[in-house]
């Protein structure tokens, strides 16, 4: 206890470092929903983009998300525009399984 009193600054620094490290680890263990910017080319449509970039969800729901993310009034896109589309949600988690040499799944 006297060591902590004598090295007050070092104790605070180590405690803050540990807290920051734990914050980074915990924040990376949750799902993140990301978006991507797409340049619209001649002939592109929201339906075609939904088929190319959409996830397992309903195509109409994906198109509604794109319309909302880009504030599209009429739902039409034009060549040369850059729009934001949702991408597949990435989930980060720790694997606590133990695997022994020679084991197969």
Average pLDDT over residues 32-40: 79
Q: Are the C-beta atoms of 38 and 53 separated by less than 8 Å?
A: yes
Confidence at residue 81, expressed as pLDDT on a 0 to 100 scale: 92
Confidence at residue 31, expressed as pLDDT on a 0 to 100 scale: 47
Confidence at residue 83, expressed as pLDDT on a 0 to 100 scale: 93
Residue 88 has pLDDT above 90, yes or no: no
What is the C-alpha separation between 2 and 83, in angstroms, rounded?
60
Query: pTM here?
Result: 0.51
pLDDT digits (tens, 9 = 90+) for 15-28: 999 998 888 877 66
Average pLDDT over residues 57-64: 88
Q: Are the C-beta atoms of 84 and 69 separated by less than 8 Å?
A: yes
Which residues, 6 or more positions from 30, have their beta carbon under 8 angstroms from its beta carbon?
92
């Amino acid at each position: 206890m006297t060591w902590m009193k004598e090295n007050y600054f070092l104790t605070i620094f180590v405690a803050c470092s540990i807290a920051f490290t734990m914050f980074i680890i915990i924040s990376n263990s949750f799902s993140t929903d990301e978006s991507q910017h797409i340049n619209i080319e001649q002939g592109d449509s929201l339906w075609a983009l939904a088929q190319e970039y959409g996830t397992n969800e309903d195509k109409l729901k994906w198109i509604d998300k794109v319309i909302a993310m880009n504030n599209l009034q009429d739902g039409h896109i034009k060549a040369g525009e850059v729009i934001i589309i949702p991408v597949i949600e990435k989930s980060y988690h720790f694997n606590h399984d133990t695997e022994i040499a020679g084991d197969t799944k």
